[in-house]
Structure 1
Amino acid sequence: MARTTRRRTVAPRSEPIKRQAIVIVHGQGEQRPMGTIRDFVHALWQDNPQLDTPEEAYPRPRPIWIVPDDKSGLYELQRITTPEHNGRRTDFFELYYADLLNATPMRNLWRWIRRLLWIDPAQVPKHMRWPWVVFWLLTVLAVMSTLAAVLALPQVLDTHWYDRFVSPDAWRGHAISITALALILLPKFFSPLSFIKRIPRFLLMLVITIGILDSFSWNGHVANLMLLGTLAYLAATLLLPYFGDAASYLSAQTETVQSRQGVRNRGLALLKALHEDPEYDRIVVVAHSLGSVLAYDLLHILWREVGPTKDNPPGPDALAAFSALDDFVSNAPSQAWNSGRIAQYQALQWKVYEALRLQKGPAGSETQSGWKISDLVTLGSPLSSAEFLVTDGSADFARMKTERVLPTAPPQAYDETRGTIYPDPQKGPVAHHAAVFSVVRWTNLFDRIDSPLFLLGDAISGPLSGADRFGPGISDRKVEITWGRLGWRLFTHNFYWTDTSPADEPPADHITAFRDAVGLERSAP
């Protein structure tokens, strides 16, 4: 049945954005409070040529102030604020949650790993098949190495390793290892030797490994123990800190409910505090990696609590803007949209945001009761593999979108005849509970390479737009990040906000795309 719509004109009423908040949501891992936000501020404000004006006299980097923050609920965090620029001030906040996921029990991690290992191969997305295969191979290798070490334990204990270590045949290996170790340590203590740092660290570690093996005459037991030690080191420094956070947040189990609730409560407290502060006209959420999953959940929850639903009905201007957006969606095919159609959709989203942010509270009150979050910017988001990481396969993923458990852009229609807005018997026309992306413009930056060489680029990231993902109204921006003196493309997951172009050259393309997505001085679609 065709959806019946009636086109309305949005009232041309607007006020300038005088103050805005940028909320940075960090990714997984052992993050340090305020360790990520400074780099974001540098990229978006302090060294952003897009903000330059002919009469500007600001030095580089542009000045900032770091002031106490009473909205985050953590004394470890502070707010970074900018001077007024072109009539607008910007405050940067960090949503820090690493401490709440720090104590990940091994059983949570093992349960999550076991789920990934035993998932039906048909349910593994095409772009995740090579990483999944490598994950399986490393698991098998770890099991075989452990078994070999256990079986060889009697022989290892019976060998006179000290005699081998001090024998003349071991001197060459010692010399190789000591030389490589010196090349690592000397630049640290003698600054004139800093040029040695140009030698890649992993290359020197490989030389040390070769030296140790040569010292012990390339003994197979030593090689196996070194392999096992390397795998254990990677598990302790990478698997538990990084994937442990993912296991604690992405996996809804009895043991993870409390940590998930704590993370969301902290995030909601910050967003609500900003939303209720009358000084702020606009809020932008920028989320990296696992933080993008958290930000997605928070926006959905916040919309249900303070959005223009039946507990906070939209005003006439907002209803007109919603109507125009519903008309556009109903007349557009639900498959892939081109960049022009996405731009049209985001322009209509901005008009809904403008109408809602200017919506006042009860008669005689100057309190704003509308919605202030205009944009969500995701960087390296694992939501591109949601059917693999979040839900139980593609069928479950599609069902949860249809049932409005997972919000999409544009939102799922209320029913066959109504879109975002439906008539509530008591409150009149209101937005449904999963319509957050009728207002919030979603821009996603990714650097994925779909090939067996998945370590090139960012294998965690990927596109989010499309009817088979989170809806055609998301602006996906594929970037190609290179870093280092040699222009590496190896694992670019943590470089979305880092300008990797050489000095005295224009900003890297991914930095320009990032700045465009946030739009510090955006005042129109």
Structure 2
Amino acid sequence: MVSAPTEDPAGSIKRQAIVIVHGQGEQRPMGTIRDFVRALWQDNPELDTPGEDHPRPRPIWIVPDDKSGLYELQRITTPEHNGRRSDFFELYYADLLNATPLRNLWRWIKRLLWVDPAYVPKHMRWPWRFFWALTVLSAISALLAILAFPQLFDVNWYDHYVFAPEARRGQLISLAGLLLILLPKFLRPMGFLRALPRRGLVLVIAIGILDSFGWNFHVFNLMLLGTLAYLASTLLLPYFGDAASYLSAQTETVQSRQGVRNRGLALLKALHNDPEYDRVVIIAHSLGSVLAYDLLHILWREVGPTKDNPPTSEAIEAFGELDAFVRCAPKDVWSVDEVGRYQRLQWRLFRSLSGQKPGTGDSAYSGWKISDLITLGSPLSSAEFLVTDGHDDFTRMKTERVLPTAPPQPYDETRGALYEDPQKGMAAHHAAVFSAVRWTNIFDRVDSPLFLLGDAISGPLAGSDRFGPGIADINVEITWGRLGWRVFTHNWYWTDTAQDGDPPAAHLRAFRKAVGLERSSDQ
């Protein structure tokens, strides 16, 4: 087994860029990035230097910047700390997927519903069944509502609800729920009522309405249909609509997919071309992890050490050590120590490439600056279900180097990521991006019929049957609230859910370590 060196061949990192790629949904510009900056920098006790005073939150500056291409976005920068300065950027793309036509969403939903059950991964079977049950329930509810129209129009519902004595109890229940929502908004002394859960109060109002109508089945069905329509408009279209636009390559989605990728590449290239930055880290959540994965593949082909931008002799040596390690390592699953050695070799290769100056090859780009990809709650764990047509198609696309893996697929039977081009000499092949980029995947999945526990969207990515054994999978268990809730933790990866006075939550410590704002060469 090849041991991993610890020296840093290209000197220390003085300035780094952290790129945040948000997930799906109606995100606000600069909304998500502030939470990440707070978690990684402003409230991070792991950066404290013993004997020094560290204010909370740590200071930041918000600076106008044109690298993102949007005037709505700005750079968040930190003061120099332990010889290093960090700049945070947001890759914002929600506006480009906002106009998702309903037919795109419907086409994607049909694909998920009618997919061959053999293509559904084991961990997605319960969510898939639930999705089917919800679809059937919606269809039945809509059919019953249509059939009941004649009967509904024959009843004087207004007189029944307003004047009937038997409706009084339900009216009082609904009024009580409404007052508990409105009073703290307009009367400051009643502010303590804000602690009451809003959804629970809405449920109280609904129960009051049903009681006023004598728990009439048709009224119940109409309320159920309205609830399903509300969920579709506020959850299905904004969240799954983005996924339908990006994950589904159709005639109607090509332009939006191209626009999202162009914006992302423009930002990453601008950071690559800026001589001030020695390191770039990409943090991607949910659907953003799919986008970040695609962008890294495209960027590597354009500015990486391929035949059009050949690596230096120092980088070739680092490539050789990496390939030698992969040849000796197990083919299917690596231990934690083996992944650690692989990532240290990746870091050495990254530092060799980042020290490559303009003019070394035929390209004007200065080496390769992206060191890490950190994915949070990534749906790539279900890639054979969401991205490709089953496990066989997924395997084929990896083998053909359409989908990059860690470690990269070998160039041929005798060569790994590195091969010799007849005209340009030694170079890396176009899908070898995870030779230099360390991939850490943090997830919180519970394989259970109770799939709302934890984060059903997330999952492991390491292993030869997924994206390669060289990914550092970190399975965390996120709990929130005083009762230690575990319900749908998909948006909690960067939030400290520990109680006041306790150490930071374990999942947040794992996230901070993966980013490594002040990582040295031997970590």
Structure 1 residue 13 displacement after superposition:
2.7
2:139 to 121, 139, 143: 143
Partner Cα separation in structure 2 for residue 522 and residue 34 of structure 1: 26
Q: Structure 1 residue 116 and structure 2 residue 109: aligned?
A: no
Structure 1 residue 193 displacement after superposition:
2.9
Residue 378 of structure 1 aligns to a residue in which SS? Answer: strand
Amino acid across the alignment from 1:92: F
Partner Cα separation in structure 1 for residue 178 and residue 359 of structure 2: 70
Q: Structure 1 residue 76 and structure 2 residue 69: aligned?
A: no
8 Å contact 2:461–2:467 — kept in the other structure?
Answer: yes
- Which residue is equivalent to 2:196? 199
8 Å contact 1:497–1:514 — kept in the other structure?
Answer: yes
Q: How does 1:39-50 map to 2 (within 5 A)?
A: 39-50=35-46
Partner Cα separation in structure 1 for residue 430 and residue 497 of structure 2: 41
Amino acid across the alignment from 1:23: V
Residue 411 of structure 2 aligns to a residue in which SS? Answer: coil
- Which residue is equivalent to 1:327? 324
Partner Cα separation in structure 2 for residue 375 and residue 310 of structure 1: 23
Q: How does 1:398-437 map to 2 (within 5 A)?
A: 398-437=395-434
- TM-score, normalised via structure 1 length: 0.97
Q: Structure 1 residue 177 and structure 2 residue 168: aligned?
A: no
Amino acid across the alignment from 2:116: D
Q: Deviations over 1:128-169 (max 9, x none)?
A: 000000000000000010010111101111110011111111
Q: How does 1:93-108 map to 2 (within 5 A)?
A: 93-108=89-104
Structure 2: tracts of 5 or more residues without a match = none
- Which residue is equivalent to 2:351? 354
Partner Cα separation in structure 1 for residue 65 and residue 191 of structure 2: 39
Q: Deviations over 1:454-492 (max 9, x none)?
A: 001111000000110000000010111111232211111
1:395 to 376, 392, 395: 392
Q: Structure 1 residue 19 and structure 2 residue 7: aligned?
A: no
8 Å contact 1:501–1:508 — kept in the other structure?
Answer: yes
- TM-score, normalised via structure 2 length: 0.97
8 Å contact 1:357–1:368 — kept in the other structure?
Answer: no
Partner Cα separation in structure 1 for residue 498 and residue 138 of structure 2: 39
8 Å contact 1:376–1:441 — kept in the other structure?
Answer: yes
Amino acid across the alignment from 2:84: R
Q: How does 1:441-520 map to 2 (within 5 A)?
A: 441-520=438-517
Q: Structure 1 residue 222 and structure 2 residue 227: aligned?
A: no
Partner Cα separation in structure 2 for residue 132 and residue 406 of structure 1: 25
- Which residue is equivalent to 1:133? 129
- Which residue is equivalent to 1:90? 86
Structure 1 residue 8 displacement after superposition:
12
Residue 36 of structure 1 aligns to a residue in which SS? Answer: helix
Structure 1 residue 184 displacement after superposition:
1.9
Residue 66 of structure 1 aligns to a residue in which SS? Answer: strand
Partner Cα separation in structure 2 for residue 402 and residue 15 of structure 1: 36
Partner Cα separation in structure 2 for residue 8 and residue 257 of structure 1: 43
> Structure 2 vs 1, CA of residues 101 and 335 (structure 1 numbering), >3 Å: closer, same or farther?
same
Q: Deviations over 1:249-273 (max 9, x none)?
A: 0000111000000000000000000
Structure 1: tracts of 5 or more residues without a match = none
Structure 1 residue 198 displacement after superposition:
3.0
> Structure 2 vs 1, CA of residues 196 and 141 (structure 1 numbering), >3 Å: closer, same or farther?
same
Q: Deviations over 1:48-105 (max 9, x none)?
A: 0110002432310000000101100000000000000000000000000000000000
> Structure 2 vs 1, CA of residues 152 and 363 (structure 1 numbering), >3 Å: closer, same or farther?
closer
Q: Structure 1 residue 208 and structure 2 residue 227: aligned?
A: no
Q: Structure 1 residue 286 and structure 2 residue 283: aligned?
A: yes
8 Å contact 2:184–2:190 — kept in the other structure?
Answer: yes
8 Å contact 2:61–2:77 — kept in the other structure?
Answer: yes
Partner Cα separation in structure 1 for residue 303 and residue 52 of structure 2: 39
Partner Cα separation in structure 1 for residue 170 and residue 368 of structure 2: 66
Partner Cα separation in structure 2 for residue 198 and residue 7 of structure 1: 56
Structure 1 residue 10 displacement after superposition:
9.8
8 Å contact 2:285–2:378 — kept in the other structure?
Answer: yes
Residue 31 of structure 2 aligns to a residue in which SS? Answer: coil
Structure 1 residue 364 displacement after superposition:
13
2:378 to 381, 384, 387: 381
Question: More deviation in 288-297 or 208-217?
Answer: 208-217
CA RMSD of aligned residues (A): 1.9
- Which residue is equivalent to 1:31? 27
> Structure 2 vs 1, CA of residues 368 and 256 (structure 1 numbering), >3 Å: closer, same or farther?
closer
8 Å contact 1:304–1:433 — kept in the other structure?
Answer: yes
Residue 90 of structure 1 aligns to a residue in which SS? Answer: strand
> Structure 2 vs 1, CA of residues 431 and 7 (structure 1 numbering), >3 Å: closer, same or farther?
farther
- Which residue is equivalent to 1:275? 272
Partner Cα separation in structure 1 for residue 242 and residue 143 of structure 2: 29
Partner Cα separation in structure 1 for residue 336 and residue 421 of structure 2: 35
Q: Deviations over 1:155-192 (max 9, x none)?
A: 11111001111111111001111111222222223343
Q: How does 1:293-308 map to 2 (within 5 A)?
A: 293-308=290-305
Partner Cα separation in structure 1 for residue 461 and residue 515 of structure 2: 17
Amino acid across the alignment from 1:95: L
> Structure 2 vs 1, CA of residues 12 and 35 (structure 1 numbering), >3 Å: closer, same or farther?
closer
1:66 to 62, 65, 72: 62
- Which residue is equivalent to 1:158? 154
> Structure 2 vs 1, CA of residues 278 and 502 (structure 1 numbering), >3 Å: closer, same or farther?
same
Partner Cα separation in structure 2 for residue 249 and residue 132 of structure 1: 20
Structure 1 residue 6 displacement after superposition:
11
8 Å contact 1:9–1:320 — kept in the other structure?
Answer: no
Partner Cα separation in structure 2 for residue 13 and residue 155 of structure 1: 80
Question: More deviation in 368-377 or 285-294?
Answer: 368-377
Structure 1 residue 208 displacement after superposition:
1.4
Q: How does 1:366-377 map to 2 (within 5 A)?
A: 369-377=366-374
Structure 1 residue 9 displacement after superposition:
8.7
2:336 to 329, 335, 339: 339
Partner Cα separation in structure 2 for residue 159 and residue 363 of structure 1: 83
Structure 1 residue 285 displacement after superposition:
0.1
Q: Deviations over 1:411-444 (max 9, x none)?
A: 0000000000000000101000000000000001
Amino acid across the alignment from 1:47: D
Question: More deviation in 255-264 or 353-362?
Answer: 353-362
8 Å contact 2:407–2:470 — kept in the other structure?
Answer: yes
Partner Cα separation in structure 2 for residue 439 and residue 383 of structure 1: 20
